[in-house]
Structure 1
């Protein structure tokens, strides 16, 4: 019984750790921050996403930037499209 309880606790701890490390990209605020960190620009990614909030749009572009190989990103433009639940968002990505 104790072994099963210990196993369950270890499995839960592993799951929490893996979820926290799944999103490893970091948003930066401005170009000065990128310069101070000596980051190399990899270009720009853009997307139109179906989400309700700006925060969700930023998360979506962060995920796209991470898939493109970036470790940092900076939002350079975001706007909602009409009254629909769509956002057009762009970010410069860095490594």
Structure 2
């Protein structure tokens, strides 16, 4: 099984905190790891994880974006990487209707 490591977790936590959604950080990290394992993304690919949250009785969609980083040392002999390095890039709150 491929391991997954979020290289800038503190940045994700800071951005979620700024948006008042700190309680959802762990859920997003676990969902991100599952997507990476299920879809076996290649280096350089971007992907998003979304979820609904309620803030002050208003439903929002939280959209967090991630990027799979390239690792030179894992690409020898055509082997699949044993560890996927993931970088958090941004988060958006989209107000529901």
Higher helix share: 1
**Which interval holds the TM-score relative to the shorter structure?**
0.3 to 0.5
TM-score w.r.t. length of structure 2: 0.34
Larger Rg: 1
TM-score w.r.t. length of structure 1: 0.35
Higher strand share: 2
